[in-house]
Structure formats: structure tokens, C-alpha cells
Structure 1
Amino acid sequence: MNNALPFSNTELLNMDTPTFLQHIESTFQRVFADGVNLMEYLPENKWLELKQAGLLLPFLLEQHGGRKNNQFEIQEVLRIAGHYGVPVTLRTGIEGALVLQPLLEFGNETQIQQGLQSVFNGEGGGLAITEPKTSGSAIAREMQSYYEDLGDGTVYVEAEKYWQGNSQSEFLLVAAKERKNGRLSKMINLLFVPKQYIQFDVLKSEGLRAVRYAINRVAAKMPANAVMRLSENDALGLRAFQNIFIRSRLQLVGMSHGIMEYIVENTRKFAKKDIKFVEFECKEIEKRYAVSQVLYDYTCKHVAPDAPVSHQLMEANIIKTLSTEYTYDAAQILQKLLGAKGFESGHVASNIAIDFRPFTIFEGPNDMLYAEIYDQFTRVTAEEKEQGVKLDKNQTLLQRIKSDKRFTLTALKERVLPQDISEFLSRYTLSDADALKKVFLGKVVAKLFVFGQTATDDAAAFLLKNIRQDILDCEYC
């Protein structure tokens, strides 16, 4: 077992999955026995207790002291954390998916040891990507953060980042480009930057007050071994960088599904269903929950923590968009049903909607991702490329769906498209969409992907209703 971890025995590692997850659930119940104030920063001692009880072990590879590779365990710890509020599951996801997984994949032994020590014995770390002047263009040429090799075993790092969860923690993994001869390369690497090199300006956010956000500025000379080189090849390096977000989006449904369950529980607890419209709204939440379950199951079955995910970009964007969109919808419905209580500070369900809304924006605004979903749908997959398949851009969307294994291999036999939707898909070819229509067609594609896997008739009907609305938006945009 890795000496950086705080465990003196292998008890947690030897537990079977049900026992381990029950242990995590019991730990949450004990740590938050007196409740948790989601309007203030989560107490660091309680967060450390959760981590030392094994909360993040599913995110660790076995060779670094983690549990056996099990995607279900990753999703489950995120889901369990979601029952204690958006900030709790968000922080679990930040340190697990956005810190530990990239650190172990790209860090050297020294960086890994230092990072694990900070995460499991201290205040952990964060991932710094977004910049104030470019926002969502994290990977685009607009990124200005850089490091420059000074030739004496040191690098000079200049970066300005913001909206990173876990700002002010013990370190940040900072995304930056290498600068040579005054020019920035296209290559993006990560740097392991300890807190001592970072200046923080705390941000006052509308929600998520239990997670520390800040503008982080680095302008310092650091040891050259701070660089975590993703690849020596520009194209492979960019792909590796994108892979961080693909995996994060695939796993995000663990967080959103836990929050969805939290919403359902509070709906059942506080809503009076003897009023017809209230009963209707409660059913609307239940339908969104059923779709969330499909997305959750997909990740558990089709993602592995030790396997590449670069070929699952379309699926990752579908999971990110729909899981966050439907969970946010459900949170808004609950807040409405609560009436005045829905705006009362400190009420267990009052802050869900405002805390969850950023999920529809972070890691790519949903509308932008819908357009990307359409683009990914109309390109050959990695498997098709290997087989020499070339897509005929004159084929219809319906023909593409019927030939795309991403849809056909996961679809249930009983899920047959209604004639009106089939006719709509037959009117568009792969090359027909302009930039605006791609957004609405991406929504249609995303929901068709889930429709094929949906076991319940209510959820299937709900998705078809949504698809028809997207079709109207597409036709009249």
C-alpha cells in the first residue's frame, strides 16, 4: 500500500463492494449527524474524516493504495454524497475525478506522493482550467496561461484561473501551454502548483457557498519537475487533456443522480399529493428521475476506470447535458412546490436549484454541448474508422441512427420510433444543419440515445414528448 495514504491496515481495501458502500453511507450519517450547513464552507475536519474513512478510494488505482477498479463504486460514492447536498457530492467529484484521476495518470512519483499526502492528510487540491477572459474556451487557442523553461532546472509560470472548486486548498493542477522563444505552443500540460505559489482572490458566488471558489493567480519561478507532461506529441497531448473531461462528464451522473434522489426524497417528504396539480408535478419529477437512472446505469455498465474513454465523447456529452438538465428541472419543480419555504435559507431543499444550476454551465454549457453531440453523431466513430467506413453525408439522420452501433447495441427491442419522429429524421441529411439547428438536432439525438435504453413506458413517453418539442424548436428556429 502507498505510504502516502493514512491507513495502517488493509481493512477498507479488503471489504467487498456492498460492505464498503455501507461503510461509506454509515460514515456520512455519523459525520453529518448534526446536519450540514450548505450556506457555509464545509468544515475541513469533517471532510478529512470522510476521506480518511475511504470516500475517495474507488478513484485510486490499486498500485497507489486504492480499491480494485470498479466504476460502480465510483458512481455510488458520488450518489451517496449527493444525499447530503450539491456541494458535498461536488467536492467528492472534484477531488476524485478532477484531481486524483489526472494526478495518477500524468504525475510523476514525487507529484503523486505529494498530492496523495495533501488529499488524504490535508486539505486536498483542485484543477485549474478556466480563465477569466476566455471562460468556456479552456482548450482553445485563447488560453494564455503558460510556463517557460529557464534552463536552470526551473520554470517560470504565469497563469490566471478562476471558478475552480477547492481553491485555497494545498495545491492546484494548473493547465498551461509551454512558451518557447516568446510564442505559445498548442500543447497543453498540467503543472503541480503548491499553495505557496498561488495568490487567491475569493469569489462571492450566488450559490455553492459550501465550496471555495476564487480567482487564482500564479506568477512565480518553480522547480521544473512541477510540469506534468501529458505527451510529447501535440495531438496526443490535446487528446489526453480532453480525456480528463470526457471521463469527468461520464462520471458526473453519479453526482446528479444522488441529487435527483435527494430531490425525490424531499418531494415525498414535503409535497401534499392530494392536490391534482401537485400530483402532476411530482410525477414530472419521477419521470426525470427515471431518465437519470438510465444514464446512471449506462455509466456503470459501459465505463471502466482503467480503460480509455476518448471514444465515448458523444456519450459523455449526452450524459452531462441530460443529467444536469433534468436534475435542474426537478430542483426547480421542488422549489416551486415548497412555496415560500423554497426560498428560506437553511431549509433542507431551498438551496438545491441555485446550487445545481452551475452544473448546466460548468464543463461546457449544455447548448454548446448539444451542438457538439450532433457533430459527433455525424462523424465516423473510432471503430468505423478502423473498419474503413466512410459516412455518406447525403444519408438521413434516421439512416445514421439505424447504422450507428452506439444506438443499436444499447437499444431495447420494444423501443420503436413513432412515425412522426421517423419522418422528421428522414427529412434531414447529415449535412443539412446550420449552427443553430445543430443545437436542437443535438437535443433530439441525445434523447433518442436514452429513449432506446429506457425500460419504463412513462419515461419513454416523457422523452418522446421532449423530442417533439425539440423538433418544433428546430423547425421554427
Structure 2
Amino acid sequence: MIELKEQLDFDTYIRGFRKHLHHLFQEKYDFNALSLQRDLPAEFLEDILNKQPLAVAIPTLYGGRGVNVKECLSVLSAASYESLALSLMFGINIALFLEPLAKYGDAQVQEHVFRQFLEKNAMGGLMITEKAYGSDALNMKTAYQQVAESYHIKGEKHWQGLSGAADFWLVTARKFAANGDLSRDIDFFVTENAKPEQTIPMNHRYQNLGLYAIPYGINEIDILVPENQKLTPESTGIKLMLDTLHRSRLQFPGMGMGFLKRLLDESIKHCQNRLIAAVPLSQNDAVKYQLARIQMAFTICSGMCAFSVNTSGIENDLASMSVEANSLKALVTDLMQESAQMSLQLSGANGYRLDHYAGRAVVDSRPFQIFEGSNEMLYTQIAEGIFKLMKKSKENNLLNFLKTYKNSNFSADYFKKQLDINIENSFSQRDLVTIGRMIARTLCFQFVLQMDGFNPELVEITRQHIAMDLAMFTGQLNSNNQANPVLEYEDQADWSKFVD
């Protein structure tokens, strides 16, 4: 058993950790120069991990801080204020490795792995995605079969964050059935790169557009792991995967929180100091709109964090919480990208530099709208999930249903006109995406309202912007846009033939 050490109270720890990161990123190292390089220098990363930020996701039984969601989100937020890439590294470790291991792992394996994290600054990740299947995880081809008291796993994964850098992985695979087919269920296995028979090499590295600190690539899997390194689901492996992915999506706001606060701080500072005809840029009405828009994102993200703390602990089964998990992930990542674009615009030409915070923010936040489920897919699932519940309750009006739904039962009243939509007719997929966007905003505004005593001016700014968004989405639905692309489009489409 790991010898337990007395932990600092968390408020003291997180204040010290924020100061430490500020010192590393803005004083000890030239992070503007580092941001243009692939990977974090080993010394730099060691300086960060020596503060044991990942201990927040390790049970106290093994020397950690206890897998407290508030602490996990606070660490993610502290990291994303300085670097979104660093926060994503932490997010991968916390939500996609340490938390599922703490919930479903064998005790002996837990003790060994957690010791490596606490004593040797180890890192871990999750391997699900395959080239041909992407979000279609249920059809993955990585397979395993039992060999004596071990499992032989063979296949290929790609776009796994920390490829070639993580010391441990959770690898997903399907079992070879007796007839040679692959089982429909999915299983999870802990692997350890330090052991030759479990090593997973990165055979090709991708030149990812942003998030330079994180290596991505193609991983060839042909390994042998002992029986106790297989996670034990409470029911099925598919539910284990849903529980894990939903918990991760519910904790995305932790990564968004510090990122949005930094964008807001940088944007306000610039607009107050930048003078146009002796008047601060912040006095321009269009600029006021943009700053308020970023404040809306900050406020919604705050409400999301509060909801996640009360919901996403490993003691809870999140397999069925798709509406809320998808709402948080899709909306916060859309707001992160939108806020980054606005911050860049407010920064003028300087914002377009890759070594400027806003420039990096635009590029680094963009993939958040894609990985762990593209946002269009998640918004579709939100709408379909709510429609299924409406059908079950024999309610055809979206507003009437949301007024009874537990996570929108008082926020829906703020947007009566926009949400008064009947669903008696079927909707196209593009309209489902739009309705999913509307539902996500309604739910997340309720999370803001539930923060009793939160800054009322920020709440009112958020209400006005959500009302505006919902009105815009209602207009999209009413426009009845059915335009489809013309794939053979070049016929009669050369402009030069239509002028003299």
C-alpha cells in the first residue's frame, strides 16, 4: 500500500499551483516561443507534474486527493488559463484514464499505476478511435482473445492524445466470438508501455494543426496483457464506455473555464488600453457587444462547472445522461471557439500571430468541436433524446415539455416565444441540429440560474444573448432551408462565360 501523506487544503494548493503555472509560462520560460514547437520540453513538463496536479483524480486510499470533481475542474481551469493544450493533457489523464481506472480497475493494478503517477510523473490516455470508424466505436476492429491467463489484443488506433508519450493506456477492443465474428460489446484493458509485451508504438506522427504540445499519430497494437488488467464493468462494456465518455464531456467546462477567463481578461485589457481617436476601444458599441458575448460564454461555463460538480463524480452512473453530457460538451466548445474568434478580432492584426494568445486560442480550441463526438452529431442526439422523452410523455410541444424536464423546468419560462415549437411532424437532420442547439442553451441557462448569488449583471447579459440565439435558431427553422449540394456543379457554372 502507498504511504499516505497529509495533503494541503485545496484552496491553498490551487492558489500555489496557479502561481507556479504563471511563473513557468510567463517568467521562467518563453512560452510564446514554446508554443511554436512540437511537444513540451521534458524539463518544463517535469516542473509542472512535480506539483502532482493529477493527484486530484487518484483515490485517497492510494495517496491521492480523492477524485473530487470540484478539485479536478479547478486544476483543469488553472491549466487552461495558461495553455489549453496543457489542460487537455490533464483532461485526457483525469477523465479518460484515472477516473475510469479508479472506478472499474483491479485493486492491485490501481495501486501499481497510481504509484507511478504519484512517484514518477506517469501519464495515461484512452485508445478508442480507428481510421475507418471514427465516432462509430461500436464497429471497431481492434480485437482480443484469451491466451492462458492473458489477453492478446491486436489492431490499430489513431488520433489518441499523448500518442507515443503516455506511459499507460486504456485500450478498447472487441472479443473474438466462437464463430470468428467480433462481439458487439466492448472491453477496456490497461496497458503499460514499460513492459515489452505491452508496448504500443506510434508508427506515424500526425502534424496536427494546433495543440502542438500534444502528440497524435497512428498506433499499432499487438500486445499481451494479464487478466487483471481488464476493467470490470458494472453491466456491459458499452455502458462502461458511455459512463466514461459522458463523465469526460461533463468535465469539458473545466478546460473551458480558465480558457474563457483568459480570453476575457486579455480582451478587456486590450480594449481598455487601445485608444481610437483618444477614446478607449471598449467604448465602441460593437466592441461592447463582443465583450459581453465572451462574458456570456464565461457565465454559461461557470454554470456548467457547478452542474458537473454535483453530477459527474465516479460514484454516479452517467451511462444514460446523454442529453446533459452532450449539451455541456457541444455548447462549451462552440462558445470557446466563438470567443477565441472574437478575441482575435478585437486584438487586430496582432491577434493573427501564432504566438499571440488569441491566435493560438483560435487554432487550439477548434478541434474541441470535433473530438469526443462532433458537435453536430451531439446536437442531433440531444434533440432525438428529448423527442423520445416527449413521445413517451405524449407531449408534442417543446416548451411545455421543457417546463417539466428536471434541468429546464424554470429556465424554459424565460424563452417562451422561442421554444413554442410543435414536433408533430418529422424534422430533417439539419433541423435536429438546430433544435439541439436550442435545448442545450435552455438547459445550461438553468445551471446558471441555480448558482444562487452569482453576479446578476452577468446572468442578465447571458439571458439576453441566449434569447437572441434562440430567436436566430427559430428563424433558421422557419426558413425551411432544404438546399442540397450539387455534386456535379461545374455545368453552366463558369462566370467568365456570362460576361462580354
Which has the larger displacement, 285-294 or 157-166?
285-294
Cα deviation 1:247-301 (Å, max 9, x = unaligned): 0001110001111011112112323324443333222222222222222222233
Cα deviation 1:184-229 (Å, max 9, x = unaligned): 1012111222334222111111111111111111124x13326414
TM normalised by structure 1 equals: 0.87
Q: Secondary structure at the match of 2:90?
A: helix
How far is 1:311 from its partner? 4.1
- Mapped contact 2:323–2:386 kept (Cα < 8 A): yes
Partner of 1:384: none
Partner of 1:198: 200
Q: 1:463 aligns with which of 459, 462, 466?
A: 466
Partner of 2:76: 78
Partner of 1:54: 52
Partner of 1:386: none
Question: Is 1:402 paired with 2:403?
Answer: yes
Partner of 2:12: 19
Which has the larger displacement, 163-172 or 452-461?
452-461
Q: Give the number of aligned pairs.
A: 449
Partner of 2:441: 447
Letter of the structure 2 residue corresponding to residue 136 of structure 1: S
**Structure 2 CA distance for aligned equivalents of residues 116 and 45 of structure 1:** 22
Partner of 2:494: none
How far is 1:170 from its partner? 1.8
Partner of 1:143: 140
**Structure 2 CA distance for aligned equivalents of residues 145 and 154 of structure 1:** 16
Unpaired stretches in structure 1, ≥5 consecutive residues: 4-8, 382-389
Q: Secondary structure at the match of 2:188?
A: strand
**Structure 2 CA distance for aligned equivalents of residues 286 and 231 of structure 1:** 41
**Structure 1 CA distance for aligned equivalents of residues 241 and 128 of structure 2:** 11
Q: 1:291 aligns with which of 291, 296, 300?
A: 300
Pairwise mapping of residues 67-146 of structure 1 onto structure 2 (< 5 A)?
A: 67-120=65-118, 121-138=120-137, 140=138, 142-146=139-143
**Structure 1 CA distance for aligned equivalents of residues 117 and 310 of structure 2:** 28
Quick one: structure 1 residues 398 and 266, their matched pair in 2 at CA, closer, same or farther if it must change by over 3 Å?
same
- Mapped contact 1:278–1:337 kept (Cα < 8 A): yes
Which has the larger displacement, 327-336 or 172-181?
172-181
How far is 1:155 from its partner? 2.8
Pairwise mapping of residues 334-345 of structure 1 onto structure 2 (< 5 A)?
A: 334-345=343-354
Partner of 1:215: 218
Cα deviation 1:7-53 (Å, max 9, x = unaligned): xx623x2x323122223223323443324322321223333343332
**Structure 2 CA distance for aligned equivalents of residues 380 and 128 of structure 1:** 32
Letter of the structure 1 residue corresponding to residue 468 of structure 2: K
Letter of the structure 2 residue corresponding to residue 253 of structure 1: P
Pairwise mapping of residues 246-285 of structure 1 onto structure 2 (< 5 A)?
A: 246-271=246-271, 272=274, 273-285=282-294
- Mapped contact 1:294–1:450 kept (Cα < 8 A): yes
Question: Is 1:474 paired with 2:477?
Answer: yes
Cα deviation 1:96-128 (Å, max 9, x = unaligned): 111111122222234323422443314422111
Q: Secondary structure at the match of 1:472?
A: helix
- Mapped contact 2:160–2:217 kept (Cα < 8 A): yes
Q: Secondary structure at the match of 2:359?
A: coil
Q: 2:177 aligns with which of 160, 165, 180?
A: 180
**Structure 1 CA distance for aligned equivalents of residues 185 and 415 of structure 2:** 47
How far is 1:416 from its partner? 2.9
**Structure 1 CA distance for aligned equivalents of residues 70 and 317 of structure 2:** 16
How far is 1:157 from its partner? 1.5
Cα deviation 1:117-157 (Å, max 9, x = unaligned): 4433144221111111111212x2x211111113x333321
Q: Give the superposed CA RMSD.
A: 2.3
Q: Secondary structure at the match of 1:351?
A: helix
Unpaired stretches in structure 2, ≥5 consecutive residues: 275-281, 450-458, 482-500
- Mapped contact 1:454–1:460 kept (Cα < 8 A): no
Q: 1:159 aligns with which of 155, 161, 172?
A: 155
Partner of 1:231: 233
Q: Secondary structure at the match of 1:48?
A: helix
Partner of 2:456: none
TM normalised by structure 2 equals: 0.84
